[in-house]
Structure 1
Amino acid sequence: MKFKAGIGQDSHRFLPSDSSKPCIIGGVVFDNCPGFLANSDGDVVLHAICNAITSITHLKILGGLADELCEKGITDGRVYLEEALKSLGSHKVSHLAVTIEAKKPHFSSFILPMREKIAEIMSIDVSQVGITATSGEGLTQFACGEGVQCFVILTVYEE
């Protein structure tokens, strides 16, 4: 069995609090938070997964395929991830590790729903998705409540 690991990162700043754009993180809507300043839905988790896939396949999803989809009015990060997954070819997902830094929203009650949504989109078992979240203790702009940052490590294998 041959393993590969990809690292992905994404971050977005929040829109003003009176924005009507929904805040979507990990495919889950957070009602008590404004959406992100982005030409897409700004889902930092799904976008970071796309970047991790790019580091494995070398197919540029964000800044490439996703931009083309945005021009057609397709701004859903789930669509970008579904397209990115196609580029894995015969590789299968072994595990996805996600870490999120943000002062807001509070993630504790949303970890399981995000894991379930990501597993559903990626057609993997929820046990293959791990998510941690940290407030960052005020050390970065994300930890001060200006936006959300996400890092992921994606491990895939080929038999």
Structure 2
Amino acid sequence: MSFRIGSGIDFHQLGEGRPLMLGGVHVPYERGCIGHSDADVLLHAICDALLGALALGDIGVHFPDTDDRYKGIDSKELLRHTYMLIQQEGYRVINIDSTLCLQEPKIKPHVPAMRAAIAGLTGLTEQDVSIKATTTEELGFVGRKEGVVAYATVLLQRF
């Protein structure tokens, strides 16, 4: 039985006129993440963790921001495709542990929907998807409400 662990991280700047998408869910807030896709920082970190676990590169290799096919794309599609790559390599996801770093908004009310969305895209139960949040105690660009950071760790098992 073969196991692989992957970690991922993603950063996005916050800006006006964009919806805030986190974990496949729209979170009401006056600003959203800026990026080529819908800039869902949490799903991007999860994609990177999955790809990294099997040494398949990173999200930029598979979905480059220079490719217009991915302009404005829903990051759930990126995670769906990444999960398909994991399955093609003969692996399944055992669990996902993630952390969002943002000063605001509070995401606790949205975590159940995020867990459900991620579980549905990765063949997991919601109990196998952990989403935590923290602030940076007003330190750095996150503390100044200029951006959001997400970290993810995944465990894969060969099937």
TM-score by length of 2: 0.90
> Take 2:117 and 2:84, find their aligned partners in 1: how far apart are those partners?
18
Task: Indicate the SS of the match to 1:35.
Answer: strand
Which residue of structure 1 lines up, in the alignment, with residue 5 of structure 2? Answer: 5
- Superposed, 1:13-92 pairs within 5 Å as 13-16=13-16, 19=17, 21-67=18-64, 70-72=67-69, 73=71, 75-88=73-86, 89-92=89-92
**C-alpha deviation, 1:59, in angstroms:** 2.4
Query: Is 69-78 or 55-64 further displaced after alignment?
Result: 69-78
**C-alpha deviation, 1:124, in angstroms:** 1.1
**C-alpha deviation, 1:69, in angstroms:** 8.9
TM-score by length of 1: 0.90
> Take 1:51 and 1:6, find their aligned partners in 2: how far apart are those partners?
8
Aligned partners of 2:93 and 2:123 also within 8 Å: no
**C-alpha deviation, 1:123, in angstroms:** 2.0
* Structure 1 stretches of 4+ moved >6 Å: none
Given the superposition, is the C-alpha separation of residues 69 and 58 from structure 1 closer, same or farther in structure 2, using an over 3 Å criterion? farther
Aligned partners of 1:103 and 1:144 also within 8 Å: yes
Given the superposition, is the C-alpha separation of residues 31 and 152 from structure 1 closer, same or farther in structure 2, using an over 3 Å criterion? same
Which residue of structure 2 lines up, in the alignment, with residue 104 of structure 1? Answer: 104
Task: Indicate the SS of the match to 2:30.
Answer: strand
CA deviations 1:36-70 (Å, max 9, x no partner) are: 11111100010001111121222235212212795
- What is the RMSD computed on CA atoms of the aligned residues? 1.7
> Take 2:40 and 2:74, find their aligned partners in 1: how far apart are those partners?
8
> Take 2:23 and 2:136, find their aligned partners in 1: how far apart are those partners?
19
Percentage identity across paired residues of the two chains:
26
**C-alpha deviation, 1:154, in angstroms:** 0.4
Q: How many residues align?
A: 156
